[in-house]
A and B are shown apart, each in its own frame.
Chain A
């Protein structure tokens, strides 16, 4: 067991840290969290800076350890999140890189890395959330286009996206997991309607997307027809690997700020609250170690293991506990939407739902990790 980094990794860290120190003061002021056009411009501007400095590729071809260092250092320095670029950089991009043709890689990868095009994810449907395989959006082959009809939901950043990684059903008679195809759909195609949805936090983060006979070129299909489920699973396993590493660093910072706030407002004198914060500190220390452990596994075995589901289950719950603790520290101020942490507390409620609910994750752990029989 060894938690030390190699000299090359330490050099990467030092170089990145120096670059962040030079670059972050040059950034424009952060836009309001609700202003998505402004956030798109801001997030893509940050991506362009990463590209010019040679860091754009980190998520794609660096070792898991270097990627971990990247996430740790950018978060520690308070650098912007991937934000609007999330799906392109962490999901559609890696999928196209792994499964796309040379022409497809040529067309789509560089604009993602340079921060020129934004992607959204057209996976979930009103009747197909965590049960993704029951999706019903139809695509009918018509010459050299697919004609797509149906609707998608919970589509983050849809109104500012240029492309949508779309899962459609191309063979309605095939078993559920077969008959699905992965398409890159231009968001300005005729027949695409985006209706923003308001979250319980009051913001318009995601949208419903209605598709009415939308023509999508067959050339935009990634992978074979009816092979979309496998194409998707390739990238979903990566999403559950180190995707939350930066967030754990952020939670640790919030927790330290919370302790200082409690110390300042007198709540620190309550031993029950102090111990609760101490327990959260244990939790986030351990989650950071679990990230490192998973990275070690990925380094050894080449792919992130089932540790991703273990991590996601625990982390999503811990994040909610952290923000619930902010309410006990803030007291009445926890009801004021203009105070720090109040919106994050509301947003944290999505963590046990998005990217596979906690219940789905438990079933995955029980069946795939512990080998319990499939059942009802």
Chain B
């Protein structure tokens, strides 16, 4: 049992991290908030880097990797708060022409919500046409609401990749909070020397690492209940992590300029995807009763 990243997986993660740092670093994130909209050039760059075709077999022009690698890539996208219908386009690779290359932007009708309807070239799923625009809480995720939507069973892969993005947000929230706690001085010392702040940071890490082992394990087993467990914990790690990070930043954290609110709002949007935590918890409850492992 080697439940550790392989050298190839570490290299892949480093590669995605490097591409995103270059093309969508913290400054680009701020700029995107000022001018929301999908960056088609970046989208194509992601396509060239193989982000969307990652799990598509090589015989069909894809990279031919698996769920563990996709999870690592989505985690990095989450860590960078990369905007756009990443999941919809990734899932459409191989079925919607141009999706794999990042030429076609694909949005998905997911229950009662559609992300990025206006910017998408293709919308997958029923009811999108009647979807009503809403003023999205997340400045970087435009949303439409589908009236009279019917709930459907979520795709475990969509659940897991959403969890991977949430894990990235949780990781980022922990990094930001710890970095701030080390450098920000109050009462003549770094605030990270105060136990109250240390314990907030410790909880940030614990939630993140618990979520990480669940997300990575689910990517290896591909099991629906494991994916549901991963999402429940990653949702918590991302949303509560962003809140705690905001608390560590104090008044600065409550401003529009700080990155923290973007993490929290994106975590909230993702938490509504694929049936939300409700569906995942119900699935786990059923698994518990049926004795499946």
A residues with a Cβ closer than 8 A to B are 1-6, 9, 65, 255-256, 259-260, 263, 268, 271, 274-279, 281-283, 285-287, 289-290, 292-293, 295-297, 299-300, 307, 310, 313-314, 359, 361-363, 365-367, 369-376
Contact = CB atoms under 8 A, between A and B. Distances in A.
Nearest to A296: B3
Nearest to A315: B210
A293 B189 contact: no
Interface string B269-293: 0000000011011111101110100
B138 interface: no
Contacts of A313: 202, 206
Contacts of B212: 293
B202 A293 contact: no
B171 to A, nearest CB: 13
Contacts of B240: none
A1 B205 contact: no
Contacts of B288: 255-256, 259, 277-278, 281
Interface stretch (B4-12, B109-117, B145-153): B4-12
Given A3-B220, A274-B282, A363-B202, A282 B3 contact: no
A23 to B, nearest CB: 24
Contacts of B202: 313, 361-363, 365-366, 369-370
B68 interface: yes
B134 to A, nearest CB: 26
Interface in B177-196: 178, 181-182, 189-190, 192-195
Binding site secondary structure of chain B = helix
Nearest to A291: B213
5 contacts: A292-B213, A307-B209, A362-B203, A366-B202, A371-B178
B217 A278 contact: no
B201 interface: yes
B219 interface: yes
B221 interface: yes
Given A370-B205, A373-B189, A376-B195, A290 B5 contact: no
A4 to B, nearest CB: 7
Contacts of A287: 210
A314 B199 contact: no
A286 B213 contact: yes
B206 A310 contact: yes
B1 A372 contact: no
Contacts of A365: 202, 205-206
Contact of B68 (A1, A4, A260): A1
Interface in B219-272: 219-221, 225-226, 228-230, 232-233
A371 B201 CA distance: 11
B22 interface: no
B135 interface: no
B60 interface: no
Contact of B287 (A4, A9, A281, A366): A281
A282 B189 contact: no
Contact of B182 (A293, A310, A372): A372
Q: Among A255, A367, A369, A373, which residue has the most Cβ atoms of chain B within 10 A?
A: A373
A309 to B, nearest CB: 9
B211 interface: yes
Contacts of B283: 278
B233 A286 contact: yes
A187 to B, nearest CB: 38
B92 interface: no
A277 B281 CA distance: 8
A285 B229 contact: yes
Given A286-B214, A290-B213, A299-B1, 12 more contacts: A1-B216, A268-B289, A278-B232, A278-B281, A278-B283, A285-B214, A285-B225, A296-B3, A362-B203, A363-B198, A366-B198, A374-B193
B2 interface: yes
A370 to B, nearest CB: 5
Contacts of B2: 1-2, 296, 299
Contacts of A297: 4
B232 A373 contact: no
Contacts of B1: 2-6, 9, 65, 292, 295-296, 299
B232 A279 contact: yes
A363 B221 contact: no
B239 to A, nearest CB: 14
Given A9-B1, A282-B233, A372 B193 contact: yes
A376 B205 contact: no
A218 to B, nearest CB: 41
A300 B3 CA distance: 10
B3 A372 contact: no
Contacts of A370: 178, 198, 201-202, 205
A373 B190 contact: yes
B178 A275 contact: no
A1 B285 CA distance: 27
A65 B226 CA distance: 21
A275 B202 CA distance: 27
Contacts of B284: 277-279, 281-282, 285
